[in-house]
Chain A
Amino acid sequence: GDSVTQMEGPVTLSEEAFLTINCTYTATGYPSLFWYVQYPGEGLQLLLKATKADDKGSNKGFEATYRKETTSFHLEKGSVQVSDSAVYFCALSSYSGGGADGLTFGKGTHLIIQP
C-alpha cells in the first residue's frame, strides 16, 4: 500500500536559518503530493502541492519539488521565522478512478524556530 516517510522531529532551528524537511513516498501509479501544516491548536492547512513529476509547489516562501526518480518531496525554506513553528505533514493522494481516495500522511515533523 501507499506510505509516506518523513524525518523525525522535533527540528529546532534559529530564526533565518535554512530549512529542509525530508519526505519520501511509496505509491502505486502517479500520486499527487502535498504538504500540510498544523499550527498549535488548529487543524491541518494545505501549504503546497504538486501533481506530477518535476512540478514545484510553493507558498509563503516554502517550496517542494516532486522528484519521481527519488520518490521524494522535500520541503525547503530559505529563511525561517518564529511564526513557522508548527507540525508539518507530508501526504499523498493516489487517484484510483473513483476520485475519493483518502490521503496517506507521514508522521509529521515538529518544527521549532527560536528567535
Chain B
Amino acid sequence: EPEVTQTPSHQVTQMGQEVILRCVPISNHLYFYWYRQILGQKVEFLVSFYNNEISEKSEIFDDQFSVERPDGSNFTLKIRSTKLEDSAMYFCASRVQVDSNQPQHFGDGTRLSIL
C-alpha cells in the first residue's frame, strides 16, 4: 500500500540554525499538509498546500516557516532560525482530492530536537 515517507526520522539542530524537513506524499495525492506535535500535547495543524501554493495556515505558521514542492515528488517544510520551542514531532500528510470525506494519510514523522 502506498505511504507517505518522511526524512530524516530524527533531526538534531542548534538553535538559530535553519532546518528542512522532507516528505514524499503518496504519488496521486493533490493536497499536502504539515502538522506539529509538541511532546505531551495535541497534534496541531500548521499548513495545507495545493496547486503549488498555500491553501490555509494556522497561527503557528508564521514567517519563520515556509513550505515548498521543489519537484514532482517532494514536499518540504523549512524552519528558519530555529528556537527551542520548535522541538517537536513534525508530521506530513497528503490527501487525494478535495472531498473532506477522503482521509489524510500521515507519515511516521520527523522528531526535531533543537539544542
A45 within 8 A of B: yes
Q: A42-B108, A43-B109, A44-B106 are in contact. Are A107 and B48 (CB under 8 A)?
A: no
B104 to chain A, nearest CB (A): 6
Closest Cβ neighbor of A96 among chain B residues: B56
Please tell me if A51 contacts chain B, counting CB pairs below 8 Å.
yes
Cβ-based interface call for A34 (8 A): yes
Closest Cβ of chain A: how far from B26's Cβ, in Å?
Answer: 13
- What is the size, in residues, of chain B's interface with A at 8 Å between Cβ atoms? 32
Let me know if B58 is at the binding interface, CB within 8 A. Answer: yes
Checking A43, A46, A99, A106 against B103 with a beta-carbon cut-off of 8 angstroms, the contacting residue is A46
A7-46 near B? 1/0 per residue, CB < 8 Å = 0000000000000000000000000101010000111111
Cβ of B31 under 8 Å from chain A = yes
Contact at B42–A100, with CB atoms within 8 Å? no
A74-110 Cβ-contact flags toward B at 8 Å (1 or 0): 0000000000000001010111001111111111100
A-B contact count (CB 8 A): 73
Contacts of A45 in B (CB 8 A): 106
Does the CB pair B55–A98 fall under 8 Å? yes
Give bound CA distance, A104 to B33, whole Å: 12
Most buried by A among B91, B100, B101, B108: B100
A side interface size, CB within 8 A: 27
Partner of A102, one of B41, B56, B103: B56
Closest chain A residue to B32, Cβ basis: A100
Name the residue of chain B whose CB is nearest to the CB of A92: B100
How far is the CB of A85 from the nearest CB of chain B, in Å?
18
A98 to B106 Cα, complex, angstroms: 20
Whether the pair A107, B42 counts as a contact (CB closer than 8 A) is: yes
B contact residues vs A (CB 8 Å cutoff): 4, 6, 31, 33, 35, 41-50, 55-56, 58, 91, 93, 97-101, 103-109
Instruction: Show 11 residue pairs from A and B whose CB-CB distance is below 8 angstroms, ordered by the A residue.
Output: A44-B43, A45-B106, A49-B101, A89-B42, A95-B99, A95-B100, A99-B97, A100-B31, A100-B49, A105-B44, A107-B42
A-B contacts besides A99-B55, A100-B56, 15 pairs, CB < 8 Å: A43-B4, A46-B103, A46-B104, A46-B105, A99-B50, A99-B97, A99-B99, A100-B49, A102-B46, A102-B48, A103-B43, A103-B104, A105-B35, A105-B42, A108-B43
